[in-house]
Structure 1
Amino acid sequence: MSGLSKTTPLPVEIKLHQASKQLEIHFDEGSCFVLPCEYLRVYSPSAEVRGHGAGPGTLQVGKEGVNIADIVPVGNYAVKLVFDDGHDSGLYSWDHLYELGCNQAVNWQNYLDKLAQAGASRAG
């Protein structure tokens, strides 16, 4: 899986705003997303977070203060985000980043609902 479909918009600029803990991504078709580091961390495409195969994944808790420590390009189709909590195993394809941007409100509400159901907290 290359993580890049024929219709995937490509990022033309990726900026990390460490003070506000947000990643700003501009795509070539004109869209721009400002994604909180916490959101990117809890929606990491890693097997640790998403689960192996059809597994349910692991609910990420206590990630409210997480930041990105480094952004490592991976070929011409993805970046590896290195988080300051030590998590660095997810490859964020352009498809995944674009989907996270387009569906941010719904994804975030789903995450908050899962936290509430589990009696868990965003606070670290």
Structure 2
Amino acid sequence: MGGSPSSTRAAWNVHVAWLCIGEDSRRVEDGDIQVCEMLARYVPVVAVVTKARSDQGFRDEVQRLLPQARNVMRVRALAETDDEGHTLQPRGLTELVDITMERHSTRGRGRTSACSRSHPGAPCR
């Protein structure tokens, strides 16, 4: 990497934090809340609901319990096939990267395209 030592160090700083919560558990732990509060003092936080299969209001619950999170994204990294042969395709990864890059480039000032694309009508903070 080129550049001055200070710009090189800045490139390695944390600019956005992902707080991952498994959708299977259907709960946000006290530790998750504390970590989110601590991280949000320093960087924008995106709550990531992993293994997304059936929301049933869980995304809204995560948003309610983690108000410091700038957004809540539901993702499924791998395709899954259930016992009846129905396949759930990966979802949300592109939008998560878009949100992350947007948060990094604006340092949390903007609430534009990627957020509204991923959850139309949902609050983007």
Q: Specify which structure has the higher proportion of strand.
A: 1
What's the TM-score bracket when you normalise by the shorter of the two chains?
A: under 0.3
For normalisation by structure 1, the TM-score amounts to 0.26
For normalisation by structure 2, the TM-score amounts to 0.26
Higher relative contact order (CA 8 A, sep 6+): 1
Q: Report which of the two structures shows the higher radius of gyration computed on alpha carbons.
A: 2
Q: Specify which structure has the higher proportion of helix.
A: 2
